[in-house]
Amino acid sequence: MNARIGWIAFNTFREAVRDRVLYNLIAFALIMTAAAVLVGQISIQIERIVVVNLGLTAISIFGIIIAIFIGVGLVAKEIERRTLYTVLSRPVRRWEFIVGKFFGLAGTLVVNTFFMALGLFAALFYVAHEFTRADLGLVVALYFIVLQFFLMTALALFFSSFSTPIMSSVFAFAVFVIGTFADELHGVASMLPGVSKALVTGFAYLVPNFSSLNVISRVAHNDPIPFSLIGLNTVYAMLYSAAAISVAALIFDRRNLK
Amino acid sequence: MNRRAITVVLAAVAACSLGGAVATAMAVERVRGEGLKEEELFLPSGAVLKRLSLGYSGLLADIYWTRAVQYFGELHHEKAVHYGLLYPLLDITTQLDPHLTVAYDFGSIFLSQAPPEGAGEPEKAVELVRRGIRENPKEWRLYANLGYIQALELHDYRAAAQSFHDGSQIPGARPWMKVMAATTAEHGGEVQTARYLWSRLFETADDPMLKQNAVKHLRAFQVDDDISRLEALVAEYKKRTGAEPASFGALISMGWLSAAPRDPLGHPYRLAPDGHVYVQSPAELPFITRGIPPGAEPAVVPKTF
């Protein structure tokens, strides 16, 4: 990563912190504390499952919301405040600006997830009184959640490169929902004949597959996650994010900012 | 780097990344197919799902119905012997939309049949279809389905006759429902009755899978009949000539057959040196009770009717 991208990323991170994005950690801490305290009283034998499901789901939802709502404003806000012109008047290329913004928000989400993960493990230790080898699955689930954030940030940037922040949020959220049902789309395609099968299959592969990145219920039940899936999901998220950012940079590069 | 070069590079990166992502997604699907797509329903309560659907339970029922068909179709294609999720999926579907009668139709037949053609759970099928009747009392076809399961799978002919009779009283019910009620009551255990039931099921079913299933049963009856007839001819040949026929050609030359006999799928029957007649591919002919070559497992172990 070149220095210019690094600076833009760092400034994006700093700005997110200034915008009190990390305040969601307080809400998360409250949820986990309440879950850890209450779960023992209302659940029998499934305390760990409840804490894992609730914790990972909260981390995922908080992160996706941040990725969408902060992501769609990354470029628009700079244009509105006219700070973009100051940045681009320096020897910074437009694609570097987009890539820097992506890494800045992705970094913010990684830091945010790290602190929430600490909270989750603390709550887990509180209810289970120990860590087991199976808890390593939580790390995989957290890693997949972070990959989801990368995808979502890239998509938010992509939509914001040609649309208004509100519409970009709607598009990004819609794609998230569709991507969550990617498996069902494949299932529907398998039941269709001829051209419609090819079309739906193509669409199913084109939308980001968020369902393959969601292993929350699996790790809650201590089901092992194959190493090959970890590798392939990593490659998938990287390539898909790269594609979305490249198109966003391409559109932004040709956009008339006057 | 000038602007044109940047555009070209970005476009190339986008195209390659997207192509790579699609290829990786296909690989991910294969890996998940091997290990991760295990049978589990994380929200098994239809009542809870109905509340969570915020009033959009109809749409959710359609999604679950699609899932049920997909689940059964995939496992059926793999000749599975365990359909653990079929009942829960149908149960959720019908709780979300109690008037989705196709789910009762489909479920009652495929839940009741023995694996791999079904889940082998006739009691649950009865439970499902009874709920369907409670929710849709004017659907005569649900009574017919109940009668089929009671007669064909549970061999409770009295109950089956009652179900057909009850269904025949509903306005719009087909006239043969009365015939079914009488036939099941009088000749419940006979093969001809079973054949008649499957023929009616074939005629009334709208769902292609249900129709196909009925066709498989009717083919099995045809094969059983063919084998009985052919083995009788072989026995007659031996009686007259004192030797087993070497092939069906010997029976043709006697004028008893016009051509080499074939099963309903078009495969020629095989005449063994000991005079028995076998089908060539028993796996393609589920539900047959005769003509299964020694050592071959029948595709479905049939129950005595």
Of residues B136 and B299, more confidence is placed in B136
Residues of A contacting chain B (CB within 8 angstroms): 93, 95, 184, 186-188, 190-191, 205-206, 209, 212, 215, 217-218, 221, 223-226, 228-229, 232-233, 235-236, 239-240, 242-243, 246-247, 249-250, 253-254
Question: Which chain B residues are Cβ-neighbours of A209 within 8 angstroms?
Answer: 25, 28
* Full DSSP string of B89-106: HHHHHHHH-TT-HHHHHH
B301 pLDDT above the threshold of 70? no
Topology of the domain comprising B46-213? 1.25.40
Is residue B66 very low, low, confident or very high in pLDDT (cuts 50, 70, 90)?
confident
Of residues B278 and B190, more confidence is placed in B278
B6 Cα to chain A: minimum distance (Å):
8
User: Average per-residue pLDDT in chain B?
Assistant: 82
Is residue B300 very low, low, confident or very high in pLDDT (cuts 50, 70, 90)?
low
User: Average per-residue pLDDT in chain A?
Assistant: 86
Among B9, B28, B72, most A C-beta atoms within 10 A, so best to mutate, is B28
> What stretch(es) of chain B map to CATH 1.25.40.10?
46-213
* Full DSSP string of A13-66: HHHHHHTTGGGHHHHHHHHHHHHHHHHHHH-SS-HHHHHHHHHHHHHHHHHHHH
**Cβ atoms of residues A161 and A74 within 8 Å:** no
pLDDT tens digit sequence for A215-224: 887 888 788 8
Quick one: A227 exposed, middle or buried, by C-beta within 10 A (0-12, 13-18, 19+)?
A: exposed
* Domain spans, chain A: 3-253
Q: Which two tokens stand for residue B99?
A: 């008037």
Least confident of A139-148, A165-174, B231-240, B293-302: B293-302
Residue A18 has a pLDDT of: 82
Return the closest-CA partner of residue A145 out of A212, A194, A197, A51.
A212
Determine the Cα–Cα distance for residues B45 and B86; give it in Å rounded to an integer: 14
Sign of the dihedral defined by the CA atoms of residues A222, A223, A227, A230, in that order: negative
Of residues B32 and A229, more confidence is placed in A229
pLDDT tens digit sequence for A1-24: 588 888 889 988 888 888 777 777
Name residues 111-140 of chain B within 8 A of A (Cβ).
none
Q: pLDDT > 70: what percent of chain B?
A: 89
Residue type, A196: S
3-state secondary structure of A236: helix
Least confident of A115-119, A135-139, A202-206, B185-189: B185-189
Determine the Cα–Cα distance for residues A238 and A103; give it in Å rounded to an integer: 12
The structure tokens 């973009």 sit at A84
